[in-house]
Amino acid sequence: MLSNAAIIRNGLSSVGLEIINSKCELLIANYTTSKEQSQTSKLFQDVFLSISILDPKLWQLLGFLLHQESTPLHVEAKTKVLDNILKNLELIEPHQAFFISNNCQSANSYLLRGAPCFKCDEELEVFDTDVETNMEKICHMSFEKQSWPRASLPIRHVGLGLRSAADLSLPCFLSSSHVCKGLINRLLPFLTQNSLTGM
């Protein structure tokens, strides 16, 4: 593995390109003991100084999670980011704040499509509660228990378009899995149906 990395580095160097070690991440996927993992990490750090060795629970590819057990952590992280954004929206005009808030939430569907977030009931409930609480502040109103489900309907159905992450998590993941199934079967034919759906 280290020799392959060296070949890539030398090849890039031959055409005038240089690897910035501090921006590189090492994912050690095949090891049997912590000792072997430690040895592999040391070998890479000796050759590629300041390279980052990531914990498997933090692995991502193009923003998608590679480790299912890390899904709750990522949902919690998204909740904190959204909470900070919504709190700052209180400083601007309510209509603009409402528009930006809706767009921020739609961006989270990327995580819902790429990870089995539907298994994280508690984390999604916290996420939805944060949205509701902050929207009450932006709109200067209080959503009652029965009115919030109506507010979370799409605008075309006379709602506010504040979709519930808990409600969308399963449909988002299933639709994404279905669309990607054919491509994944061609690229990784050895995977079973269960591993494709994460269920």
SS3 127: helix
What distance in Å separates the CA atoms of residue 60 and residue 182, rounded to the nearest whole number?
22
List the domain range (segments joined by +) for residue 124: 64-184
pLDDT in tens, 140-168: 778 777 777 777 787 788 777 778 888 88
How is residue 116 written in tokens? 């089995």
Q: Is 109 exposed, middle or buried (0-12, 13-18, 19+ CB in 10 A)?
A: middle
* Residues 121 and 34 reside in one and the same domain: no
Is the pLDDT at 198 greater than 70? The verdict is no
Number of domains in the chain: 2
The answer to whether residues 24 and 94 belong to one domain is no
Tokens 């070998």 belong to residue:
43
The pLDDT, as a whole number, for residue 70 is 80
Residue 197 scores a pLDDT above 60: no
The verdict on 91 and 157 lying in the same domain is yes
